[in-house]
Amino acid sequence: MLCKRWTRRKEARPLEILEAALGLFVSKGYAATKMTDIAKAAGVTCGTPYIYFAGKEEIFEAVMREILLPRLTLGHELLANFQGNSADLLRAMLKTWWQAIGENQLSAFPKLMITEGSNFPLITKIYQEEFVAPGNKLLRQILERGIASGEFRVTDIDYAIEVISSPIIIAMLSRHTLINCLPDQFDPERFLNTTLDTLLNGLIAPLQDKTHE
């Protein structure tokens, strides 16, 4: 039994190292995090991370590929299986996005890309091509679905995607900056509902029906 537990523990080590690294990247920043810090946080010896990763940059890349990118699967599954109208699908997609990324340490990725991305073009490219672009494609498919069914009126689909995603990105950035633009008692569900209500219904009140006056 001892051998089996040790084997399972050893197999789990790479993920434990990545999760520890993510926590440090979030709290200290990439540049300030050392490999020895990652080993200590993961509860392993200083040389153990090098068994699995060549260095800190490879760990950063692995955090993205092994922890962040798989979250996109949730969006693809939702889009493939959703049976309701497009407005409800958009609402479900944004809530899934926030629950999968916004409510945990992965919400720090936009900040990490802004502060560290210029020094690591490969990581920035991976983030853009393998996470941002596919995420935008999911939103495009929802908008196209709504346009085709007559539910949505979209004058510029490219910028509509940016308008839809920006509030959530700003909320994630605000969680990891000293200047927090969000209320002290930030309510993610209330925030998402308000964002969606504004997107789907707009700000202009409908004209009063005067036919019966």
* DSSP-derived 3-state class of residue 153: coil
Residue 205 has a pLDDT of 82
pLDDT of 157: 96
CB 123 within 8 A of CB 117: yes
pLDDT at residue number 12 = 57
What's the pLDDT at 5?
33
- Segment 39-59, tens digit of pLDDT: 999 999 999 999 999 999 899
What's the mean pLDDT when you consider all of the chain? 86
* Residue range 62-116, pLDDT digits in tens: 998 999 999 999 999 999 999 999 999 999 999 999 999 998 899 989 988 888 8
pLDDT classification of 178: cutoffs 50, 70, 90: low
pTM of the model: 0.82
Judged against a pLDDT cut of 70, whether residue 208 lies above it is answered with no
- Residue 42: what pLDDT? 93
Q: Is 17 exposed, middle or buried (0-12, 13-18, 19+ CB in 10 A)?
A: buried
The span from the CA of 122 to the CA of 195, in Å, is 33
Check: CB of residue 152 under 8 Å from CB of residue 127: no
Long-range contacts formed by 37-44: CB under 8 A, 24+ apart = 42/13, 42/16, 42/17, 43/16, 44/13, 44/16, 44/17
- State the fold for domain 64-201: Tetracycline Repressor; domain 2 (1.10.357)
Using 50, 70 and 90 to split pLDDT, how confident is the model at 123? confident
Higher pLDDT, 119 or 208: 119
Which residues, 6+ apart, have CB-to-CB distance to 112 below 8 Å?
Answer: 25, 26, 29, 30
What is the per-residue pLDDT across 107-118, written as a single tens digit (0 to 9) for each?
989 988 888 888
**What ranges do the domains of the chain cover?**
64-201
The DSSP string of 141-157 is: HHHHHHHHTT----S-H
Asked if 38 contacts 17 with a C-beta cutoff of 8 angstroms, the reply is yes
The answer to whether residue 184 scores a pLDDT higher than 80 is: no
Residue the block writes with tokens 């498919």: 141
The amino acid at residue 68 is: L
pLDDT for residue 209:
54
* Pick from 2-6, 12-16, 27-31, 38-42: least confident: 2-6
> Rounded to an integer, what distance in angstroms lies between the CA atom of residue 108 and that of residue 53?
22
